[in-house]
Amino acid sequence: MNNSSTNTDSGPRFVDLSSNPKIAALTQVLREVSAVKDPTEMLKAFGPWVGQRFPRDAFVSVSIRDLPTGKYKITRAVTSPQSQSNQPTPTGNPWRDWAQLPTYEGGLIGEIIASGEPAVVTGLDLSNDEPLSNALGSYARKLRSVTAMPAFDDGKPLNWSLSFHEKADWEDLDTFVAGLLDMNMMGTATRNLVFRKQAEALNEQLMEQFEQIAKIQRQLLPERSPTLDGFTLATSYLTSNIAGGDYFDYFQGQDHRLGIVIADVSGHGAGAATVMAMLRAILHCYRDTLDDPSSVVDDIADVARYCNRKLVDANLNGEFATAFFCVLDPKSGELQWTRCGHNPPMLRRKDGSVELIESAATLPMGITTEVKFESDSCVMNPGDTLILYTDGITEARAPHHLSTDDGLEMFGTKRLMESLHACTGMPQCAIDSVHKALYQFTHKLERDDDQTLVVIQRSIES
């Protein structure tokens, strides 16, 4: 006796589905529906499938959304069995033309929607049913039964699909169950498209507003860097995708000194941009408080004290602003400053070494008036370069796959100092070096936060 057997199973076997027309038809419908972006197109894509699965002689869709009890609108009516659900009502798009559609009450539809439940009604006589006669014309008299299928929205039957038949005793409940499922699937898909279009419209409005805010924000910044004997200045202001709160400005007086401010409002969006505009207005009013308006400032710490008091009085509900205020005397090279919670500026010396300016530091502005503001000073020698920046640079993050830990690594102060050490010290060279280092770190041109640089170099004596 031969006990050996032959195993003919050589691996997975695909079942041939091509011979099943229902699977092919459903696949085609799902493919078309997945590409639909408009609710009216959803009906065109899904309608033929429903018509094949649930044959009917006439079709009416009804909605009671946002209408008083007992009231309804007929949003679609089809009397040609060949076209099924592919023809809209004469008003066109029911979502667009909702207000123009007539409102009805009573009749067979009124009885059906009052029950709130799926229904099969046989033995009809629609001769005197005004709403259905208006929708279906004289053909309504030939119809003898109807299947009413609610489409539920948040648990409520807000939309109805009514399929009419000339047969008076239509009672194919298995087909009815399948149709009820199909109608609710189509209703859910259509509703999602309506919400999507609404969301897209709102998003477009918001983006227009953000662009408007960003445009105004840019107009509040200096158009060009001032001219200062013995010094070279350059700035870079790169915005994020959302309006932010970076701010820089210059103030010159008749005493030839230059006041400089760089600031960053917490958060993003319209709120941060509004606080930034407030800070600018406060600063531009400060000179009116001086005994000698021709001077840039008498006391640099007093500038911070004044701005802080105004911002606290404005009750910013948690918003605050960091800032670095300084005054530069071009004759002596003396730099006086106060730092309000802002990133410590960097001073690149002529030999390439980079120092942090960390003294005279306080809390950010807008939190409390119980802050003692102080000032400090140093001398910028020929060849020295001052670099002011916002945290959009040091807090720029690398993609996860480039990080050395589980979180997103930040660009940080160390990398910024290295990029400044590698440049010549000329303002534009410093800016280019920082941007190059940022791109090499993040590998992207987009920014999660505004990135601002203000760079000032004292010219090398000849």
| 302-337 pLDDT per residue, tens | 999 999 999 999 988 888 999 999 999 999 999 999
- Number of Cβ within 10 Å of residue 173's Cβ equals 10
Calculate what percentage of the chain has a pLDDT beyond 90.
Answer: 49
- CB 139 within 8 Å of CB 79: yes
* Per-residue pLDDT tens digits for 102-122: 999 999 999 999 999 999 999
pLDDT of residue 180: 80
Average pLDDT (64-70) is 93
Q: Return the amino acid letter for 291.
A: D
Where does the pLDDT of residue 82 fall: very low under 50, low under 70, confident under 90, or very high at 90 and above?
A: very low
pLDDT of residue 199: 84
Closest CA to 376 of 401, 397, 357: 357
Range among 71-80, 93-102, 110-119 rated most confident: 110-119
Is the pLDDT score of 380 beyond 90?
Answer: yes
How far apart, in whole angstroms, are the C-alpha atoms of residue 333 and residue 6?
96
HSE-CB at 292 with a 13 A cutoff on CA atoms is 9
Range among 74-88, 197-211, 418-432 rated most confident: 418-432
Write out the two tokens for 314.
């404005």
How far apart, in whole angstroms, are the C-alpha atoms of residue 73 and residue 226?
67
Where does the pLDDT of residue 126 fall: very low under 50, low under 70, confident under 90, or very high at 90 and above?
A: very high
Calculate what percentage of the chain has a pLDDT beyond 70.
Answer: 89
**Domains of the chain from N-terminus onward:** 21-199 (3.30.450.40), 220-458 (3.60.40.10)
How far apart, in whole angstroms, are the C-alpha atoms of residue 424 and residue 441?
21
Signed CA dihedral, 183, 185, 187, 190: sign only? negative
Average pLDDT (418-425) is 94
Strand 71-78 and strand 103-105: pairing? antiparallel
Is the pLDDT score of 90 beyond 50?
Answer: no
pLDDT of residue 4: 47
Is the pLDDT score of 430 beyond 90?
Answer: yes
Is the pLDDT score of 2 beyond 60?
Answer: no
* Per-residue pLDDT tens digits for 195-219: 888 888 888 887 787 777 777 777 7
- CB 345 within 8 Å of CB 323: no
* Per-residue pLDDT tens digits for 141-152: 999 999 998 988
pLDDT of residue 76: 87
Give me the helix-helix angle, 39-53 and 21-34, nearest 10°: 170
pLDDT of residue 1: 47
Averaged confidence pLDDT in the chain: 85
Which comes out higher in pLDDT, residue 73 or 17?
A: 73
Who contacts 212 (Cβ-Cβ below 8 Å, separation ≥6)?
A: none
* Per-residue pLDDT tens digits for 248-300: 999 987 888 999 999 999 877 777 888 888 999 999 888 777 777 666 777 89
pLDDT of residue 99: 86
- Three-state SS letters, 337-405: EEEEECCCCEEECCCCCEEECCCCEECCECCCCCCCCCCEEEECCCCCEEEEECHHHHCCECCHHHCCC
Which comes out higher in pLDDT, residue 35 or 359?
A: 359
Is the pLDDT score of 86 beyond 60?
Answer: no
Determine the 3-state secondary structure of 452 from DSSP: strand
Average pLDDT (5-28) is 72
What pTM, to 2 d.p., does this model score?
0.63
- CB 179 within 8 Å of CB 163: yes
How far apart, in whole angstroms, are the C-alpha atoms of residue 38 and residue 358?
58
* Per-residue pLDDT tens digits for 265-277: 987 777 788 888 8
Strand 334-340 and strand 361-362: pairing? parallel
Which comes out higher in pLDDT, residue 409 or 391?
A: 391
pLDDT of residue 84: 42
Closest CA to 230 of 402, 31, 335, 382: 382
How far apart, in whole angstroms, are the C-alpha atoms of residue 369 and residue 302?
13
pLDDT of residue 243: 66
pLDDT of residue 192: 79
Length of the chain measured in residues: 462
